[in-house]
Amino acid sequence: MKTERLTAADVERAAEILRRGGLLGIPTETVYGLGANGLDEEAVARIFAAKGRPQDNPLILHIPSADWLERYCEAVPAAYTLAERFWPGPLTMILARKPAVPDAVTAGLDTVGMRCPAHPLCRAIIAAAGVPVAAPSGNTSGRPSPTSMADMLEDMEGKIDGIVDGGPCAVGVESTILDLTEQPPRLLRPGGVTLEELRAVLGEVAVDPAVTRLMGEGERPRAPGMKYRHYAPKAPVTVVKGDAAATAAYIQSRLKAGEGVVCFDEFAGLYAGHQVERLGPADDKAAQARNVFDALRAFDGTGVTAIWSQCPDEAGLGLAVSNRLGKAAGFHIIDLTGSRRRSGENGV
């Protein structure tokens, strides 16, 4: 199929693609999504086919405002408090589903992920379509998420009916996912809304172990999607955590010919002769979030044999950046802050 290029002037055309069961590349403030009518089982099945996504990995339903919540889930009071504070924005809430939501969206779970995106063009398209939009990130399953129309077309050209150019994504990593069906609420994926912000509103918030480490053999993840390798470029990645100058020097001392580096801007000059992708300044985690997926994507097709990456600390947006780098590395992490050395192979 031919993938139609659309712009902000084509809201009606984009809405029509969704209403008739087509697949639409849709800009959000987090990453580009692969959207379809979330009430149409066949359209939702096409999302899984286009991405090569495992059937047991559920999708998020995107709505234009919090007053749509009650159509699709049992919205507890905390959901409205959080919506008031963080919506529209990069927060997905897991809530008990209502029968209106097809099994194809939730992968058969009794819960559904709900989000109201902040990108005005995205909300205008959803409102014009008049249906909730089921959308995972617009990448081929396993690859880094797309943060521009060009990134998404790399993976989806010819596989989707249309794509809307909404410019580069302002946040750059996927939404924060918070499970409100548990007490205390549990962070399943860190994103643009930080753990500190959630705790300021809710008090106690648990952090799922899958956020910071590889799930061990026989461990059951809370959400099926959490068990999959993610965000990975083709070459293996090693993440080095700790003080920025120390990790930069560590990488410089171990780097072999043909290997690449993801580093903070300040250290880019250390690696002459190697492919270097910049995360942003060491103290600018918002820039790092915007750049992390592009940095990982940039190594594909270059023949780089291995990738070393610096990584921010876990405060604020650093938790989301560090989680994406960790997942890209299969949690193969060298931690210079203590004597700990964590490795993806032994799943510690």
Q: What residues make contact with ligand AMP under the rule CB under 6 A?
A: 57-60, 94, 106, 109, 111-113, 136-137, 174, 177, 188-189, 223, 225
The CA distance from 157 to 24, in Å, is: 11
Task: Pick the closer one to ligand AMP by CB: 94 or 304.
Answer: 94
CB of 17 to ligand AMP, least distance (A): 19
Contact 105, 41 (CB under 8 A): no
Question: Would you count residue 291 as binding Mg ion (CB under 5 A)?
Answer: no
CB of 62 to Mg ion, least distance (A): 14
Task: Pick the closer one to ligand AMP by CB: 177 or 195.
Answer: 177
59: CB partners within 8 A, 6+ apart = 38, 44, 47, 105, 106, 113, 134, 135, 136
Task: Pick the closer one to Mg ion by CB: 92 or 137.
Answer: 137
Contact 176, 319 (CB under 8 A): no
CB of 19 to Mg ion, least distance (A): 24
The CA distance from 39 to 104, in Å, is: 9
Task: Pick the closer one to Mg ion by CB: 90 or 260.
Answer: 90
Question: Would you count residue 175 as binding Mg ion (CB under 5 A)?
Answer: no
Contact 235, 304 (CB under 8 A): yes
Look-up of token digits 């939501």: 101
Task: Pick the closer one to Mg ion by CB: 51 or 186.
Answer: 51
Task: Tell me the one-letter amino acid at 149.
Answer: M
- Cα–chain center distance at 5: 23
Look-up of token digits 């989680």: 323
What b/e string do you get for 18-44 counting C-beta neighbours within 10 Å, with b at 16 or more? Answer: beeebbbbbbbbbbbbbbbbbbbeebb
CB of 166 to ligand AMP, least distance (A): 16
Question: Would you count residue 28 as binding Mg ion (CB under 5 A)?
Answer: no
User: Quick one: which of 143, 186, 91 has its CA closest to 327?
Assistant: 143
DSSP 267: G
Task: Pick the closer one to ligand AMP by CB: 188 or 263.
Answer: 188
Piece of the chain touching Mg ion by CB under 5 A; list 115-123, 130-138, 188-196, 209-217? 130-138
CB of 243 to ligand AMP, least distance (A): 31
Question: Would you count residue 137 as binding Mg ion (CB under 5 A)?
Answer: yes
Q: Which residue is nearest to ligand AMP (CB)?
A: 225
CB of 66 to ligand AMP, least distance (A): 18
User: Which one of ligand AMP, Mg ion, none interacts with residue 17, CB within 5 to 8 A by kind?
Assistant: none
Piece of the chain touching Mg ion by CB under 5 A; list 93-101, 105-113, 132-140, 149-157? 132-140
CB of 339 to Mg ion, least distance (A): 34
Question: Would you count residue 176 as binding Mg ion (CB under 5 A)?
Answer: no
Count residues near Mg ion (CB under 5 A).
Answer: 1
Task: Pick the closer one to ligand AMP by CB: 94 or 232.
Answer: 94
Task: Pick the closer one to ligand AMP by CB: 75 or 261.
Answer: 75
Question: Would you count residue 238 as binding Mg ion (CB under 5 A)?
Answer: no
236: CB partners within 8 A, 6+ apart = 306, 307, 329, 330, 332
Tokens of 205: 């918030």
Type and span of the H or E element at 12:
helix 11-19
Question: Would you count residue 30 as binding Mg ion (CB under 5 A)?
Answer: no
CB of 71 to ligand AMP, least distance (A): 16
CB of 140 to Mg ion, least distance (A): 10
Distances from the Cα of 222 to the Cα of 40, 184, 189, 248, angstroms: 26, 14, 11, 35
User: Quick one: which of 92, 117, 118, 89 has its CA closest to 105?
Assistant: 92
The CA distance from 17 to 22, in Å, is: 5
Residues that bind Mg ion (CB under 5 A): 137
